[in-house]
Amino acid sequence: MAIKKAPEIINKIEVIWLGGNSFLANNERLPGKNTKAFTNGKPLCQYILNTLLKVKEIDEIYVYCSDPSIMLYLPKGIKFLKRDSRLDGSHVKINEVLTAFAKDIPSDVYVLAHATAPFIHKETIENGVKAVCEEGYDSALSVHKQQDFFWMDEKPWNYDIKEIPRTQDLKPLYRETTGLYIYRNELITEEGRRIGDRPKLLETDWKEAVDINNPEDFVIADAMFNYYRQRGERIYE
C-alpha cells in the first residue's frame, strides 16, 4: 500500500507512445499491425492516441519512432519524435527506449501507451495520473485480475488438488496487460525502470486488457470492435 502525502507540484506530463520495435512493417509476429485498420474502422494506432488526447492532465503526446512515415496516420495534436534506429533492434530492452526518450523530452511524469492496447478507457488513464501526481504512488500500471487454477513446474501453484476450491474463492492474481504505464521522471532517469516500489495497480476489464501481438489477436479485437459497433456501443473513447 502506498503512503499518501500532500500533492506535489507537477509541471509537466508527457506521453510516449510506442507500438513495438518498428511501427510499420518490421514487427515479427504481425507486420504492419500499428497501421492495420479494423474492418469498418480506423488504423489501429489512432484509437489509443485519440483517447490520450481527451485526458486534460496530459501536456504533450509524442510518437517515438525511427520511421517518419508513421506521421501520415497521426491524429491532429500528436507530435512525432524520431528515435535512433539503433533502438529498433530486437535485443534492445524497453527501458532503454524509455530512458532515451526521457533524455530528449524532460518531464515530471511520463505516460507510456501502446497501439496494441486500443480499448483502454480515458478514466483508467486519469486514475493512473492522479495516483502518481497526487496520491503518493511512484508509478501505475494496467492489470487484469485473474482467479483461475494455475500450474508451475507440473504442479498446482495456487490451489490444493485434494481440496479444489471455487474459483471465486481463489486469491486473485493480477496480470500486467502491458497497455499502460505511468511513472515519475526519477524512476526512469535514475533507476532505469518504469515500475517503482510503490506502484498503483489499475484494474482493467477484459476489453481494456486486449493486447494485440499476433494475427489471431487482431482477428479477435476486430470482431469485438464490430460486435459493439453493431450494437451501437463503443469500446474505445
3-state secondary structure of 90: coil
Size of the chain in residues: 237
Q: Check whether 19 has a pLDDT greater than 90.
A: no
Q: Determine the Cα–Cα distance for residues 163 and 144; give it in Å rounded to an integer.
A: 26
| pLDDT of 2 | 28
pLDDT digits (tens, 9 = 90+) for 146-203: 999 999 999 999 999 999 999 999 999 999 999 999 999 999 999 999 999 999 999 9
Q: Which fold has domain 13-144+174-230?
A: Spore Coat Polysaccharide Biosynthesis Protein SpsA; Chain A (3.90.550)
Q: Backbone dihedral region of 32: left (phi > 0), alpha (psi from -120 to 50 degrees) or beta?
A: left
Q: For residue 190, which amino acid is it?
A: E
φ, ψ for residue 203, nearest 5 deg: -70, 125
146: burial class by Cβ within 10 Å (0-12, 13-18, 19+)? middle
| pLDDT of 174 | 96
Q: Determine the Cα–Cα distance for residues 147 and 169; give it in Å rounded to an integer.
A: 8
Statement: the pTM of the whole predicted model exceeds 0.85: yes
Beta bridge partners of 202: 142
The domain spans of the chain are 13-144+174-230
Q: Check whether 15 has a pLDDT greater than 90.
A: no
